[in-house]
Amino acid sequence: MKKKQDIKLFEEKKVRSVWDSESEEWYFSVTDVVEILTDSADPKQYIKKMRKRDPELDASWGTICTLTQLIAADGKRYRTTVATAQGIFRIIQSIPSPKAEPFKQWMAAVAAERINQMQDPELSIEQAMTDYRRLGYSERWINQRIRSIEVRKELTDEWKRGGIEESRDFASLTDIILQQWSGYRTKQYKAYKGLKKESLRDNMTNVELALNTLAEVSATEISRSENPKGFFENADIARRGGDIARQARQSLETQTGRSVISPTKASNYLSGENPEDKQQMIPGTEENE
């Protein structure tokens, strides 16, 4: 299975999903679906009881479902039971829930949406913007985030051109860029913001996102100029791209007297809190003395 993991929203609740590019089908987390339809505090136990109640479903469980790695609440990847839309439809038959029909319609819409996006990639961007608006992000932040996604894609394409293939190398290069401008590796940055499974980029402030985008677009442009080959040459360019953003960060902090690295996360600024309230003063500035 050639997988691309995603998070889909049904009535503001997350459904972990995986797109299989070979079969061109979505696979949905069975646990997430059952939890949404039943409001069960322990969906795994509900699934066990459901299978006992429905011997036919239990007998075909291995055919309906498969295992794949998904990110759990603790941020780690675990082998998780998933099923296609058709498999989920069969499972729903054993769940008495008023949400069943709306959920089936939602899954059908998700499948149709993906087919349309494959034919017109611009629709993917429009859908992302719609999802961010639904979650409460500002238009300014959304525009920056969408641009950062485009920049990130250009950078990873450039890394692939330079011979980077392993996922761990992509992660290492990302860490190099991030640490160079912010002083934090990805795990450290997420810990500073109190994040677990959440996306770091989705929890950056406007300024943090702008600096990270500057670092990545700088690395992309340098790479296009120098045509690096292999990990070490790409790592050197990653540091230089990050250094450009570091200089911009330091200049901004000198002017404002505040660190742009903020423990603020999305739940803070979406609730109306001012990100500056959590930004640290830089020692030695007039305001801090």
Res 115: pLDDT: 39
Q: Identify the weakest region by mean pLDDT among 12-26, 93-107, 116-130.
A: 116-130
For the four alpha carbons of 37, 41, 45 and 49, in that order, the dihedral sign comes to: negative
pTM above 0.95, yes or no: no
Q: 195-205: per-residue pLDDT in tens?
A: 877 789 889 99
The DSSP element (H or E) to which 21 belongs, if any, is none
The whole-number average pLDDT for the span 102-131 is 61
Q: What residues form DSSP beta bridges with 7?
A: 16
Nearest C-alpha neighbor of 39 from the set 98, 91, 102: 98
Whether pLDDT at 16 is above 70: yes
Q: 72-112: per-residue pLDDT in tens?
A: 877 778 889 999 888 888 998 898 888 888 888 777 776 65
- In the chain, what are the domains? 3-119 (3.10.260), 127-288 (no CATH)
Confidence band, pLDDT 50/70/90 cuts, at residue 238: very high
Whether pLDDT at 118 is above 60: no
Nearest C-alpha neighbor of 283 from the set 262, 263, 254, 261: 254
Q: Identify the weakest region by mean pLDDT among 11-15, 187-191, 254-258.
A: 11-15
> Could you tell me what percent of the chain has a pLDDT over 70?
81
Instruction: Give the DSSP per-residue string, 114-173.
Output: HHHHHH-THHHHHHHHHHHHHHT--HHHHHHHHHHHHHHHHHHHHHHHTT---HHHHHHH
| Most confident option among 149-158, 224-233, 262-271 | 224-233
CA pair distance 214, 196, nearest whole angstrom:
25
Q: 32-49: per-residue pLDDT in tens?
A: 999 988 988 899 999 999
Q: 138-197: per-residue pLDDT in tens?
A: 888 888 888 888 899 899 999 999 999 888 899 999 999 999 999 999 999 999 999 877
Whether pLDDT at 121 is above 60: no
Number of Cα atoms under 13 Å in the Cβ half of residue 137: 23
Whether pLDDT at 282 is above 50: no
Res 14: pLDDT: 81
Report the b/e string of 55-76 with b at 16+ CB within 10 A: eebeeebeebbbebebeeeeee
